[in-house]
Amino acid sequence: MVEAGRSIAQAIAAGNYHRIEVYSAPDALGMTRVEYRYDPPACETVEEVAQCFVELFGPIKAGCTAKAWRIKGGRIGAYVVEDAGDVTALLQ
């Protein structure tokens, strides 16, 4: 359930703050780069984050990949994360 006005601290405290990172297709040297980093605190599930991402940015380009994490805590510049998973199919 998307909760408008929810802060990052509230999302982390609730245990359902998620981040999606979209990576570019590999270049000639096999290198990828982060195309998008999206982590709206209003979304409670990875599926909601993916749906909001597609509504905002559209589906990802062919060859791009995406991973998701649940952020458990942290401080400025450092996060404790778990549940890394591939969400490429949710964003296509």
Main-chain dihedrals φ then ψ at residue 50, nearest 5 degrees: -60, -45
Mean pLDDT on 49-73: 90
Mind listing the pLDDT tens digit for each residue in 33-42?
A: 999 999 887 8
State which H helix or E strand residue 62 sits in. Answer: none
Which is more confidently placed, 5 or 63? 63
With a pLDDT cut of 90, the percent of the chain lying above it is 35
- What's the rounded Cα separation, in Å, for the pair 33 and 22? 8
pLDDT category of residue 4 using cuts at 50, 70 and 90: low
pLDDT category of residue 21 using cuts at 50, 70 and 90: very high
